[in-house]
Amino acid sequence: MHGVSFFYKKQPTFVVVYLLPTPLYSTINKIIFSAFCLSLIIHFQNITNATVNVTKDFFLSFFIKKTLKTVLLIAIPWLSYAQFQPFPEALSARNSSYEMQIKLDTKKHQVKATQTVTFINPSDDTIWTMPFHLYYNAFKNNKSTFNTSASRIPISKPQSDIDNGVWGWIKVTNIQDKNGNDLTQNSKYVQYDDGNKNDHTVLEVQLKTPILPRATYQLEMQWQSQIPKLFIRTGYNKDFYFMAQWYPKLGVYEPAGSRFAIEGAWNCHQYHPSTEYFGEFGVYKIALDVPSNYTVGASGFLLKKEEKDNRTVHTYLAEDVIDFTWSANPDFVEVIKKWKGVTIRLLIRPEHEHYQNRFLDAAGHALEFFESYIEKYPYPTLTIVSPPFYGLAAGAMEYPTLITAPTMSGFPMGIRTTETLTIHELTHQYFMQMLATNEQEEPWMDEGFTAFFEAKIMDKYYPDGVVSLDYWNIHILSSALRRGRFLAGNNIKSNAVSDLGWMINPENFSQIVYGKTAIWLQTLEGLVGEKVMQEIIQAYFSRWKFKHPGRQDFIDIVNEVIPKHFNKSFANYIQYFLKEAIFGTAVCDYAVHSIENKRVEASLGFFKNTENALTPTEDLGEINYESQFTLYRLGEFIIPQEVAVTFDNGDVELTSWDGKSRTYNAKYEGSRQIVSVEIDPNFKIPLDKNLINNSYTVTQQSTGITSTFTSMVSWLQHTMVSLSVLL
Ligand SMILES: [Zn+2]
């Protein structure tokens, strides 16, 4: 399936054509660039005129093209470096910063490094330890917590790797404090979560001099690592390197009162296969020494590039980020697009080059969306790495200012997995990166919000669907697909979304963390309206960006915003809604049970006394009906409902029900009969697990809402199964 596809056309002028706009980012650069090119053209023409005769035109154009291409290749990096400047003011507290010199050995697949870690104590505590994540040690043996836990991602290692002793590890070889104290022997592996002594994913360093309140403290470290064979987001395969969670990374110190911290403490969990990460904000200045034929992509932006003896040192600067990730491959094609001051740098394989606009357009949509919905993406760069087929284990994943989004040659345009992944991972920049919630303890606060916005953005910019197959007349909106995937869980009640990430049943992890959160956020939006929802998200973001909010911080924001727009009873209801959605496992399901239209008989017999009986007359007058419908609350999750009642004369009446009682009955009298009843006609409550029972029509019509939803749900199931591998 994979390889050079029919669509693959590598044009010799590609570099010129696509990189030409790259340096034209500012007026100054434009002028410099134009003048530079013009002078070279004139210079070249002079030489050419003197030496070339009849074939002048041919050679002229040929050489000018060649020269321009060379000039561009030389000039572009220079201009590119020049255009990025450090932030004039810090966006975050920058409590954990790193400077590293990294040397990549592509023969042994190893890294040798020195790093300086600068920590600013954010509390009034005196601190005596510093714990570091050593994520690569998850791949060190088969008894690590990572390798022995149930996982939502297949973690079994290929037998050939086991036979050949292919493991990954990281070893800190030297630690010194600023006073020259050697702390190497003062460090030990700790297992805060499960006591598994074979797990070496957290190293605790005991300090000889304490970190005083609010003080700055530095450690110098040397370390080396054996890069794992590409496996769950990180490692190498052949000549493709994807370096994520790859260095000793300091835990996050949480002062008393932040999130769950009663006392100030380090938050540094072991590496669990189901959950992701948590990091502190800081500045990373990383010098990556790699063979010169490798193209490098990394968080932040390139500060400088120095070449010596067939090796190149790429120095990157990433500010106000919680992590640093990089990738290297000799065959990456670089495509650059500017979006309102943000340089989007796509590193893509030649065989996928024809799909470049799928990534770039999707990234532009997400940036545009967030600029208007929350606020502008503040970083100067966004790097998208699209891994080769043999590097797919690098996944679709988010890192600060760098995301991975795979594609495949020949992937149908109507299956918008590439766009979905790009938008999903980019959305994480606002939640995983800028809000920087704890993805291990509260994964829903990152993945759930991201899934919510992924669907919102996809539905806005791809209104014909995340699956759009015209020939089959199949169009599935992203939000519908997300809902379908949520409901496909084998037990969506197995955990509350608030459970610690590694305690959530892996079989239902994505349904609960991603799916349920996205769907209850959609439901909240349905209840409060789009405008109030935006106000909530904006207030949440502006108060908590760069500060690691916890769940109560979000709940508090909602409870502050709602009373500004609604009455007390609705505000109280929303408090209940959040409690149930976040901490509960109740399921929402409302159903139309029945519709009854009974003809009202003419009055016959004695009514006032027994002397004047009413008897049938020829004219019975207007035929009257007593109509009623009955609704059931089948689930435990109470949500107020709108109900649309359609009568046989075409009238549609909207009524509301607080949704509390188990049975709800409404009666009408008059000449009209009820034809159909529909709960939640505007589809504001996607949390309702069964939409098929939401409507009832007296006369069977195959075009009714029931059949529409039946077929939709059926499509969702099929599509979800086929796409879930990639999503
Ligand atoms: Zn995600």
The structural domains of the chain, with segments of one domain joined by +, span 14-83, 93-329, 331-416, 451-583, 590-723
Query: What is the distance, to the nearest Å, from the Cα of residue 24 to the centroid of all Cα atoms in its chain?
Result: 31
User: Cα of 396 to ligand 1 centre, how many Å?
Assistant: 8
> Measured between alpha carbons, how far is 282 from 274 in angstroms, rounded to an integer?
26
Pairing between strand 467-469 and 202-211?
Answer: unpaired
Mean pLDDT of the chain: 86
* Other CB atoms within 10 A of residue 254 CB: 22
For residue 706, pLDDT beyond 80: no
Residues whose CB is less than 8 angstroms from the CB of residue 407 and which lie 6 or more positions away in sequence, other chains included:
352, 355, 358, 359, 386, 417, 418
Is the pLDDT reported for residue 118 higher than 70? yes
Global pTM reads: 0.83
CATH 3.40.50.970 fits domain 93-329: no
Measured in angstroms, how far is the CA atom of residue 324 from the centroid of ligand 1? 17
Ligand 1 centroid–CA 428 distance in Å is 7
**Contact call for residues 642 and 684 (beta carbons, < 8 A):** yes
What is the whole-number distance in angstroms between the Cα of residue 227 and the centre of ligand 1?
24
Q: Encoding tokens for residue 95?
A: 């409590």
d(CA 35, CA 37): 5
493 CA to centre of ligand 1 in angstroms: 21
| Helix, strand, or coil (residue 226) | strand
Q: How wide is the angle at C-alpha 296 spanned by C-alphas 335 and 377, nearest 5°?
A: 60
Q: Given this model, what pLDDT does residue 394 score?
A: 84
Q: What is the pLDDT of residue 61?
A: 41
Distance separating alpha carbons of residues 602 and 599, to the nearest angstrom: 9
Q: How far is the CA of 719 from the centre of ligand 1 (A)?
A: 19
pLDDT of residue 385: 96
- The Å distance, Cα 451 to ligand 1 centre, comes to 7
Ligand 1 centroid distance, CA of 447 (Å): 5
Between 490 and 376, whose confidence is greater?
376
SS3 state of residue 342: strand
H-helix segments, 149-299: 159-163
Distance 278 CA to ligand 1 centre (A): 14
Selected from 3.30.2010.30, 1.10.1740.110, 3.30.390.10, 3.40.190.80, the CATH number assigned to the domain covering 331-416 reads: 3.30.2010.30
Query: Strand, helix or coil at 407?
Result: coil
pLDDT band of residue 598 (cuts 50, 70, 90) is: very high
d(CA 219, CA 129): 12
Q: Of 562, 514, 561, 527, give the one whose Cα is nearest residue 542.
A: 561
Q: What integer pLDDT is reported at residue 53 of this predicted model?
A: 34
- The residue among 381, 388, 423, 416 whose CA lies nearest residue 402 is 381
Inter-CA distances, 504 with 271, 275, 277, Å: 15, 10, 16
Query: What is the mean pLDDT of the segment spanning 622-650?
Result: 95
CA atoms of 462 and 419, how far apart (whole Å): 9
pLDDT of 17 > 60? The answer is no
Q: pLDDT tens digits for 508-552?
A: 999 999 999 999 999 999 999 999 999 999 999 999 999 999 999
Task: Find the mean pLDDT for residues 235-262.
Answer: 96
Q: What number is the average pLDDT over the span 312-328?
A: 98
The Cα–Cα gap between 646 and 629 comes to: 11
Over the stretch 446-494, which tens digit does the pLDDT of each residue have? 999 999 999 999 999 999 999 888 888 889 999 999 998 888 888 999 9
Under DSSP, is residue 12 helix (H, G, I), strand (E, B) or coil? coil
Which amino acid, 310?
N
Cross-strand pairs, 595: 629
What is the whole-number distance in angstroms between the Cα of residue 181 and the centre of ligand 1? Answer: 41
Task: Report CA(392)–ligand 1 centroid distance (Å).
Answer: 16
> Which amino acid is it at 225?
S
pLDDT tens-digit readout, 25-70 = 233 333 333 433 343 333 333 333 333 333 333 333 444 444 444 4
Residue 66's pLDDT is 47
CA distances from 202 to 147, 182, 198, 370, 693 (A): 15, 19, 11, 36, 51
Q: How many Å apart are CA 520 and CA 513, to the nearest integer?
A: 11
